[in-house]
Amino acid sequence: LVFRKGSRNAHQCLRKTMQDLIIGLLQFDQAWQNPQENRNRIESALKSQSEADLILIPEMAFTGFSMNAEEHAEDWEKSESISWLKEQSLRHNTAFYTSLLIKCDGRFYNRGVFVSEGNVMAHYDKQHLFAFAGEDAVFESGNNQTIVPFKGWKINVQICFDLRFPEGARNLIRDGNPAYDLLLYVANWPSRRISHWDSLLVARAIENQCYVAAVNRVGVDGNQIEYNGHSCIIAADGSYVEQPVQRKESLVFQTISYNQLSDFRKSLPFLKERKG
């Protein structure tokens, strides 16, 4: 596993503003339908974590992109993986965002969870299910945008195929301010369509005047689909804060600046044309 960080001095200086975030992207090869092994792999990677405010882990973190919900979905009220995430958030003093297979009220969901300080702060059910893999035949789709308040930021949480649908990430002006500042994607996005991933992530940042942080897996899954990562962080002007990380397993950290985002929005205030 390769680890890379931005300037530690820069991180320490920026954190004093209390409105800048250090984001970690954990790009790894998920074990197929093996939650315990994936928890072990994530925990091993996190041994180097000592500074992130928020870490993203790929979609369906504990199984890979499996449609075998009957066997592998975890009960929403007593999920072992969510309990584990809560423990890790306390141990590492960081928040996590990922998704997992969930059973709730007799239905299955590809559910995103935002965990911080030992609690699930918010959850999001994937709205756009990937019919080409049969996801829509197994899971219920969500119907609401989820925005999480975190350390002064407003964070919109999304999952993989949602990226293709800009209406779900539309940033509107509400009470005089943009609805959100940071857009998150966790994914299992195949390498054969990775150019779409790269292009659409940049587009979402530009059109919504927000930071975008996205994590994808690497390796080959149980359906023999190949993934090559390209986890990245993008600024509101479409430039890379963290260049796409290709193919290798990695945990990278970068700082995003709230002041820089605010200044950019003031210099080009087109979001004001959108009303919520």
Q: Mark out the alpha helices in 29-108 (DSSP H runs).
A: 35-45, 69-72, 80-92
In angstroms, what CA-CA distances link 73 with 7, 81, 276? 40, 10, 36
Q: Is 126 considered catalytic here? A: yes
- Which of 2-39 are b and which e, b meaning 16 or more Cβ less than 10 Å from the residue's Cβ? eeebbeeeebeebeeeebbbbbbbbbbbbbbbbbeebb
Q: Is 154 considered catalytic here? A: no
Q: Is 226 considered catalytic here? A: no
Residue type, 256: I
Q: Which two tokens stand for residue 128?
A: 């756009």
Task: State the Cα–Cα distance between residues 154 and 116, nearest whole angstrom.
Answer: 15
- Choosing from 51, 59, 135, 242, the catalytic residue is 59
- Choosing from 5, 103, 126, 242, the catalytic residue is 126
Under a CB-based contact definition with an 8 Å cutoff, are residues 184 and 148 in contact?
Answer: no
Strands 226-234, 21-27: parallel, antiparallel or unpaired by DSSP?
unpaired
- Choosing from 51, 160, 210, 232, the catalytic residue is 160
* Residues designated catalytic: 59, 126, 160
